[in-house]
Each structure stands twice: as C-alpha cells, then as structure tokens.
Amino acid sequence: MDPRYDVLTDAARLAREFVDGLAERHVGATAGVGELRERLARPLTDAGEDPRTVIAELAADVEPGLVASTGPRYFGFVVGGALPAAVAADWLTSAWDQNGGGAITSPGLAVVEAVAAGWVRELLGLPADCGVGFVTGCQMAHVTCLAAARHAVLADAGWNVEADGLQGAPPLRVVAGANAHITIARACRILGLGADTVRIVPADAQGRMLPVELAAALGEHDGPQIVCAQAGEVNSGAFDPLAEIVDLCRAHGAWCHVDGAFGLWAAASPARRHLLAGYEQADSWATDGHKWLNVPYDCGIALVADAARQRGAMASTADYIPANDSDVPWGVESTPEFSRRARAVPLYAALRALGRDGVRDLVDGCCAHAERIAARLATDEDVEILNDVVLNQVLVRFAGSDEVTDGVLDRVQRDGTCWASGSRWQGGATVMRISVSGWQTTAADADRSADAILAALRATTGR
C-alpha cells in the first residue's frame, strides 16, 4: 500500500468517530465563527504540511463548529441526513475523481448516473423517457428546468433564445404562487426573466396557490407563459392543487414547472401520493437527493418531460469532444455544467441500499414522527400548531407571542437536545419550523425532542 494514501484511512476513522457520536452530541454547534476562525486560520506555509497532520488538525479544529444535521434530532430547514451507503459512495466518487461530464471522460460513472436516473423516474412515477440532470441542488434544478421551459415556450413562439437571447423576444411571463420558494425568483433572475416581474398568484392559509386566481392571471397575458407550482411548501409542507394547475396550463398553452425539492418524494409513498395528484402531467420537476433522500450534499435533480427540450437548452459541444452516439445521456447535455462531479453515484448507492420499500418507509417514517411531535406539543395549552401536518413539516407558535416563540427557539438551540429553526409564517407571526427529514430519527427521538421543546417553553414562560 502506498503510504501517501494513509491519510485516507485516517479520514475514514475520523468520519466514523463523528457519525458514531451523532446520536448524543449537542445538536447545534458549540463554538461561534469568531472562535472557529481563530482555530482554523493557521498560517499558510510556503513548504506545505504533512497531509496526515492537515487532516488530523482540520478535524480537531472544526469539531466544535460542526452541527449534527445528519443525526436523529436535527429538525432545522429541510436538510436530511446522509445514509451510510451514500456517504461511502461519495468517498469513492472523490477517490475515483472522474469527470462526470459524460462517457468520454468516464464510461463507468456515466452508466451509473443513467441507471440512477432510471430509478429516480420510476420511484417518482414520472415518464420513463423524461430528461434527468443531476445538479448541485434544487436551486440549479430550477435553473435547468426553467431554461428548458424558456427554450420551449419561445421556440414555440418562433424565437431561438439560445441563439438570439432575450432582447427582442416575444414577452415571456413567469407566474408563481405567493408561497413559491425564493429559489424560483432567483432562477428567474439568473435566466434573465426578472425576479420582480414574476406574476404572483395569491395562496390560501396553508400556502397553496389558488387555482381561480391562477386562471385570472393566465388570462391577462397573450404570449408565452411559464407557471411555477409547488409540491411541499418550505414551511408548511403544503401542496399546490397540481391537477387543476396543470389543466389551466394546458388550456393557456403555458409550461408547468413543479418545485418538489422535498415534497416530490411523497410519490414514493402510496399513503401520501394523493397529495401530488396530477403532477405527472407537468412539463418539468425539480427535486433534491440531498434533502429527503438522505444523500450527502450536493445532489439536486432536474427532470424535464420532453428530454429534447432539456438538451435544447443545455447541450454544448466543441471540436475536441466527440458526439454522444450512445443511449447513455451525458451530464454535459442535461445540466448547465461542463466538468462535473458524478453526483448521482451516492444517489445510486442510496437507492440500492434502501430499495423501493426503504424509500417509502423513509418518507412515511418522517411524516409519522412529524405528526407525533405535533401531537405531543399540542398537549400544552400554550402551543398552537399552525399548519395541517400533511407531510414532514410542523409550524409551532408558543403562547400566541413572537417574543415567547423566539425565547423558546433560543433555549432549544442552546439546550442541544434537538435543533429547530424559526420563520415568519405568511410574513407575519414568528414560528418554530420543525422539519423531520433524516433517516435516523425514531419515535423515541420525536418524544425526547418534543419534551425538550416543552421544557424550553416552561422555562421561557415560567408557567
């Protein structure tokens, strides 16, 4: 064995120590960025350092700044954990260090990605021939899908946006619900569609787009339109009424894009699939592997019903790159990237390790734990659950007060039993957001976390 690679064995041991300690470590970080900067900002040397020292000191220095977000009681944002098989495959992806642009640079990993794409289509119940691009996250999945949408609706209007740009193009309008995730506006910004010109459609109390308002909005514009619907609102987990939205898009010749960053995985659960009714008729879907599927960062997935539209927006080539004459798609044809990590390799491992039943159980288990936490919290008269807990998200307000809710959040985060983040629901009341999306969470973790939150509530109110 080449001793220059002993550092890989060190890293495996350090990683193992970290993951073995996840269940009982303080869930949040215990050091702030000031202290961490002091620890990590060592002088950069001229001569370089021994790799084993670098890795040992890096792990030790950063330790108090790590968050147990891949552990069983982290409920912040919607981050998900990292399945052991997926982490191991991720390490191999780094060690192999292949350029995942296509089969010309790595036939092996191009085929792994193609197989993973097929499994994703199957699990999500999407057309077997839809285009799949593995990108860094749902943000870039939106960019990819909306680029395909821009390509398609303008091509249908007789305009070649790839060649001629947007100046002078037929006016293209994007329509989105009031609760659309911020990454939709950002994708519009990046694509030259304008963030502030998105036509916002009002939503109901759960954050679901109102079809009657969408119908009115679509009727206002005589030209190409793209509608951005949502499966899984980032706070409440609510689903837009996708069947009605798709029908309206068809009636108005609009492209229908679905943001399903985490919610699209409800398709893998027979018990939850009804929430998505109609979704398979949409034109594009954006989701993540690194959230609910518990693949490590980064793994976003852009799916486009008509793969040719995706290639039309994304494919690029050069004289030094041979044409792809196989039926294995290349990443460079389906994503905005050129050189790229073959990031579907951990996804491949995660899906094989879980199997269809494992994906279903992951989704159903998280939803059951979310319901359990909500029910246990609701036993206290100072607790109000603001959303219908239809998925893995719980919105909690304490004593009807922003101040008390902020106080509880602060205590929970400092206590370290679990970790939840805050938000302002519908732009108003301060809430605690509890998002259950990790494979490690058990019913006992749900109870222990709810009890820690209730203890923080009592300490805050003194009741």
Q: Is residue 320 packed enough to be buried (19+ CB in 10 Å), middle (13-18) or exposed (0-12)?
A: exposed
Q: How far is the CB of 120 from ligand PLP (least distance, A)?
A: 15
Q: Which is nearer to ligand PLP, 110 or 266 (CB)?
A: 266
DSSP β-ladder status, 284-288 and 255-259: parallel
Is residue 261 near ligand PLP by the rule CB under 6 A?
yes
Find, among 374, 241, 135, 48, the residue nearest to 147 by Cα: 135
Residues numbered 65 to 84 that lie near ligand PLP (CB under 6 A) are: 77-78
Q: Which residues are CB-contacts of 290 (< 8 A; sequence separation ≥ 6)?
A: 79, 80, 137, 296, 297, 298, 299, 300
Q: How far is the CB of 134 from ligand PLP (least distance, A)?
A: 12
- With CB under 6 A as the contact rule, the residue among 105, 106, 139, 225 that binds ligand PLP is 139
Write each residue from 101 to 130 as x if it is in contact with ligand PLP (CB under 6 A), else as -, in one continuous string.
------------------------------
Find, among 193, 204, 266, the residue nearest to 228 by Cα: 193
Q: Which is nearer to ligand PLP, 103 or 126 (CB)?
A: 126
Q: Which is nearer to ligand PLP, 69 or 183 (CB)?
A: 183
DSSP β-ladder status, 430-435 and 393-398: antiparallel
Interacting span for ligand PLP (CB under 6 A) from 49-57, 93-101, 124-132, 134-142:
134-142
Give strand pairing partners of 419: 74
Interacting span for ligand PLP (CB under 6 A) from 132-140, 168-176, 329-337, 446-454:
132-140
Output the residue with the shortest Cβ distance to ligand PLP.
137
Interacting span for ligand PLP (CB under 6 A) from 117-125, 137-145, 166-174, 272-280:
137-145
Is residue 387 near ligand PLP by the rule CB under 6 A?
no
Q: How far is the CB of 394 from ligand PLP (least distance, A)?
A: 15
Residues numbered 285 to 344 that lie near ligand PLP (CB under 6 A) are: 288, 300
- With CB under 6 A as the contact rule, the residue among 73, 150, 173, 181 that binds ligand PLP is 181
Q: How far is the CB of 53 from ligand PLP (least distance, A)?
A: 34
Q: Residues 424, 207, 136, 187: what is their CA dihedral angle, to the nearest 10 degrees?
A: -100
Six-digit token string for 16: 């193992």
For residue 298, cis peptide bond before it (omega within 30 degrees of 0): yes
- With CB under 6 A as the contact rule, the residue among 27, 114, 130, 138 that binds ligand PLP is 138
Write each residue from 217 to 256 as x if it is in contact with ligand PLP (CB under 6 A), else as -, in one continuous string.
---------------x-x----------------------
Six-digit token string for 57: 């000191």
Q: Residues 262, 266, 269, 271: what is their CA dihedral angle, to the nearest 10 degrees?
A: 140
Q: Which is nearer to ligand PLP, 78 or 342 (CB)?
A: 78
- Angstrom distance (rounded) from CA 170 to CA 240: 28
> What does R_g of the chain's alpha carbons equal in angstroms?
23
Q: How far is the CB of 183 from ligand PLP (least distance, A)?
A: 4
Is residue 445 near ligand PLP by the rule CB under 6 A?
no
- Angstrom distance (rounded) from CA 146 to CA 270: 29
Q: How far is the CB of 432 from ligand PLP (least distance, A)?
A: 16
Size of the site for ligand PLP (CB under 6 A): 13
Phi first, then psi: give them for residue 290, nearest 5 degrees. -80, 0
Cα 282 → chain centroid: 19
Six-digit token string for 424: 């302002």
- Angstrom distance (rounded) from CA 100 to CA 94: 11
Residues lying near ligand PLP in the complex (CB under 6 A):
77-78, 137-139, 181, 183, 232, 234, 259, 261, 288, 300
